[in-house]
Amino acid sequence: MNLLYKSPRLLLLLTLVLGGTTIHAQGIMGGRVTGNIQLDGQISSADSIIGAQDVPEWLLMNARADILYTNGGFSAGLRFEAYQNPMLGFDNRYKGEGIANYFVSYQGEKLSVTAGNFYEQFGSGMILRAYEDRYLGIDNSLRGLNVTLRPFNGVTIKALAGKQRYFWNYADGMVRGIDGEVNLNSIVKCMAESRFRATLGAGFVSKYEDDQTIAFPDNPSYRLNLPLNVGAGAVRMDLAYGNWGLQAEYAHKGQDPSVMNNFIYRDGEALMVNATYSQKGFSANVQAKRVDNMSFKSVRSESGEMLYINYIPAITKQHTYAFLSMYPYATQTTGEMGLQGDVMYKIKKETLLGGKYGTDIHINGSIITSIDTNNIGGAGTLGYESDWFKTGDLYYADASLEVAKKLSKAVKLTCTYGYQVFNPVVEGHNGPLHHNHIVVGDLTWKVNKKNVLRFEAEWMGSDSQYDPNVDDKRCGDWIMGLVEYNFTSAWFVSVSDQYAYRDGVGNYYNVSVGYNHGATRLQLGYGKQREGLLCIGGVCRQVPASNGLTFSLTTSF
């Protein structure tokens, strides 16, 4: 018992575990209380080979509990967060605990209002996306007022104002926005039954930030004349005809000198186009984008991943296999051009290649480059000129072929080949391009209804070599094996090892055990984690090396 008093973290952990597994949805004043709890912990020790640092705390822990009360159209919620201390790779400014987020909301047929913290997105997010990703340690929620009007079927108008969360505080910059979307098939009678479907939208977001002295670098007697109100607008369309679809969005941002663009006054713009075709057994899509100076933050001096008002969607494939995702692509909001193609085809059953169960083929390719720039000055100038259609240096290229085939009722085999080219400049350091070949074999065997075995083997051959001066521990040639056993529908055990067998360093073994019971999942792991980037949707955070125990508990009620 003394341990509990001496260790508030342990006390909190037990409270959440015991509390989380015994609470059920409660009826209060005719309403309903629901929630979810997540607790992640880590015990890590030094390992000089993989670069894991010694952690002075015995235990690192991220915990959160979301509580939601709903009663008809009314809802209210809060989120408790505790970082005692933040797990490796999470910003230390999260250290502490408290109510991080609260709101009250009314959702009606024609009107919705939220006061407090809220998340929102206009279109694809190129001018506004307030979102949270707990695995990236990002919470760009706005605290303020969010109103949505639906005056009649097919028309939605959103208006909002607020300040962005910044760890345990709120940023000084004020964000205001309005967005309208019209579904033509709903408001134009003659289009109601048409095969042609069309939705049009437009939005505008403005941020206000107080003036500050940014000295002109060439002469401290002068300073930059900063725009206090920075606006960004976007127009978009979503068209479909039969099996065809076309989505496009264009965004334009006014002068926004900031630390992200070296305080230049060039306007920003971004265009994203997505064309799709799909029919039974076949689908294809092509995406293209061009981004020029579109970093849009509520505080001009903020670097890193916090306080983004907007989000530039990624168009590279988000891989799940370890080696294919070892070099994720981080979106370059300051400028990039990209193209992606994706084709999925199912070879029919009872054909030569399809066999008894058919065969799924998935081909994906993407290429991202910098934009062409002609430098015309530094801070306090327009910065550069850019030829709209001309590409710059290669940032990233990825081509993959995945073939998935059911060999029998119980056995499924998926084989993947990938080729990637990676420019380390996207992670902020110079060096030669990395060219990687990756082969993955994934065999799943359903032993019976309650027991499933999965085997995974991966190989990566790379022309990169580990250089202690650069210390990129992803370099070299790698092999990996994984065995996973799911049994009794509730338990699973997984053992894996990644080993750099040539021109690299590190042997990263991991063992994990998990248990699922209803909405509760508990997982324990032990092993080594390679340092690198964790990216979700092109937004990334640095993950340092770690060595030791991890555990995770999630539950909902």
Partner 1 sequence: MKRFSILSLLAAALLVFTACDKIAEDEYVVFAGASGTWYDSEATIPAVQRAFVEKYTGVRCVNCPNADVVLHDLSEKYGDQLVVAAVHVPNNFGKPLHGEQDLRTEKGSTWFNTFFSPSQNLPSALLNRTKVDGNSLDIIDPQARFDDKIDAVLSATPQVGMMLSCTRDGGVYNAEVHIQFNQSVSDALTLTLLVVEDKVYTTQEGRTADGIVEFENYEQNHVLRDVVTDAWGIDVVADGNQGTKRMIVLPVSLAEGWNADNCHLIAFVSNKATREIVNTAQCNL
> Residue by residue, what is the 3-state secondary structure of 336-350?
EEEEEEEEEEEECCC
Per DSSP, which regions of 350-450 are E strands? 359-371, 374-375, 384-385, 391-406, 411-422, 434-448
Closest approach of partner 1 to the CB of residue 212, in Å: 9
Copy the structure tokens of residue 61: 């822990």
Q: How many CB atoms lie within 10 A of CB 248?
A: 16
Contact criterion met (CB below 8 Å) for 168 and 146: no
- Using CB under 8 A, which of the segments 209-217, 270-278, 345-353, 504-512 binds partner 1? 209-217
Residue 155 binding partner 1, by CB under 8 A = yes
Residue 220 binding partner 1, by CB under 8 A = yes
Residue 389 binding partner 1, by CB under 8 A = no
Size of residue set near partner 1 by CB under 8 A = 37
Residue 213 binding partner 1, by CB under 8 A = yes
- Binding mask of the shown chain, residues 133 to 152, with x at each position contacting partner 1 by CB under 8 A: ----------------x-xx
Chain mean position to CA 425 = 20
Residue 233 binding partner 1, by CB under 8 A = yes
Measured from the CB atom, the residue of 221 and 279 that comes closer to partner 1 is: 221
Residue 154 binding partner 1, by CB under 8 A = no
Residue type at 312? I
Measured from the CB atom, the residue of 223 and 346 that comes closer to partner 1 is: 223
Closest approach of partner 1 to the CB of residue 515, in Å: 46
Measured from the CB atom, the residue of 35 and 203 that comes closer to partner 1 is: 203
Measured from the CB atom, the residue of 25 and 187 that comes closer to partner 1 is: 187
Residue type at 168? W
Cα–Cα dist 459/322, whole Å: 10
Contact criterion met (CB below 8 Å) for 50 and 528: yes
Contact criterion met (CB below 8 Å) for 453 and 485: yes
Selected binder of partner 1 within 381, 465, 510, 554 (CB under 8 A): 381
Residue 5 binding partner 1, by CB under 8 A = no
Residue 301 binding partner 1, by CB under 8 A = no
Residue 206 binding partner 1, by CB under 8 A = yes
Cα–Cα dist 489/495, whole Å: 18
Site for partner 1 in 164-193 (CB under 8 A): 176-178, 180
Helix (H) or strand (E) holding 40: strand 31-44
Selected binder of partner 1 within 4, 228, 410, 511 (CB under 8 A): 228
Alpha helix stretches (DSSP H) within 31-179: none
Closest approach of partner 1 to the CB of residue 542, in Å: 24
Closest approach of partner 1 to the CB of residue 230, in Å: 6
User: Going by C-beta distance under 8 Å and a sequence separation of 6 or more, which residues neighbour residue 207?
Assistant: 173, 174, 175, 176, 229, 230, 296, 298, 309
- Using CB under 8 A, which of the segments 16-24, 73-81, 200-208, 278-286 binds partner 1? 200-208
Residue 230 binding partner 1, by CB under 8 A = yes
Closest approach of partner 1 to the CB of residue 130, in Å: 16
Contact criterion met (CB below 8 Å) for 504 and 479: no
Q: What are phi and psi of 317, to 5 degrees?
A: -70, 135
Copy the structure tokens of residue 114: 């939220």
Selected binder of partner 1 within 2, 92, 153, 221 (CB under 8 A): 221
Measured from the CB atom, the residue of 229 and 351 that comes closer to partner 1 is: 229
Measured from the CB atom, the residue of 157 and 524 that comes closer to partner 1 is: 157
Site for partner 1 in 239-258 (CB under 8 A): 254-255, 257
Selected binder of partner 1 within 103, 265, 396, 557 (CB under 8 A): 265
Closest approach of partner 1 to the CB of residue 257, in Å: 8
Q: What are phi and psi of 6, to 5 degrees?
A: -80, -25
User: Going by C-beta distance under 8 Å and a sequence separation of 6 or more, which residues neighbour residue 118?
Assistant: 103, 105, 130, 141, 142, 144, 146, 160, 162
User: Going by C-beta distance under 8 Å and a sequence separation of 6 or more, which residues neighbour residue 174?
Assistant: 161, 162, 163, 207, 208, 209, 298
Closest approach of partner 1 to the CB of residue 370, in Å: 24
Cα→Cα distances 372→129, 258, 292, 394, Å: 27, 21, 10, 11
Selected binder of partner 1 within 216, 455, 459, 499 (CB under 8 A): 216
Closest approach of partner 1 to the CB of residue 356, in Å: 58
Closest approach of partner 1 to the CB of residue 132, in Å: 24
Measured from the CB atom, the residue of 45 and 301 that comes closer to partner 1 is: 301
Closest approach of partner 1 to the CB of residue 236, in Å: 15
CA atoms within 13 A on the CB side of 208: 5
Of 238, 175, 241, 166, residue with least CA distance to 207: 175
Residue 380 binding partner 1, by CB under 8 A = yes
Q: Which residues bind partner 1 (CB under 8 A)?
A: 149, 151-152, 155, 157, 159, 176-178, 180, 204-206, 213, 215-216, 219-231, 233, 254-255, 257, 265, 380-382
